[in-house]
Amino acid sequence: MFVALPIGHRLLVRERAISLVDLADEPLIMISEGPYNLGEYVAQIFRSYEIEAKVAHTVVEPQTALALVGAGDGFTLLPESYSRIAWPQAEFRALKQGVTANLFAVADPQGLNPIAHRLLEFLDADNPRC
């Protein structure tokens, strides 16, 4: 997971990863919670470290969260893939805590092409990259 902060935020002066403890008193722009979605996952991260998030806004879409980050309204936590896109007025840092997610695949083996078969074999293998 990555932390998105407004450009110029005091935590960005360091190039290192940012800890949840560093974010404890910062306003969080939260993705709305629901079963098996990003918002629930982020809420669980805070609960697992016994940190009460200071939720300033709750939004449905990550793009809305990033717009609010850019406006200086707080920070948000998003998957690393969002950090690869240039977002105006937002900058990303890795989250210090190692946060993992389970991946699941459901497929009908009769209708899979060779690439999908290889993906399922990769996910099924004892692969440290997953």
Number of domains in the chain: 1
Domain annotation covers residue 127: no
Tokens found for residue 2:
């990555």
Domain annotation covers residue 20: yes
pLDDT digits (tens, 9 = 90+) for 1-33: 899 999 999 999 877 899 999 999 999 999 887
Query: Residue 41 is part of which domain span?
Result: 2-94
- E strand segments, 32-130: 54-59, 76-78, 90-94
pLDDT digits (tens, 9 = 90+) for 30-80: 988 776 688 888 888 899 899 999 999 999 999 999 999 999 999 999 988
Domain annotation covers residue 80: yes
CATH number at residue 17: 3.40.190.10
Domain annotation covers residue 71: yes
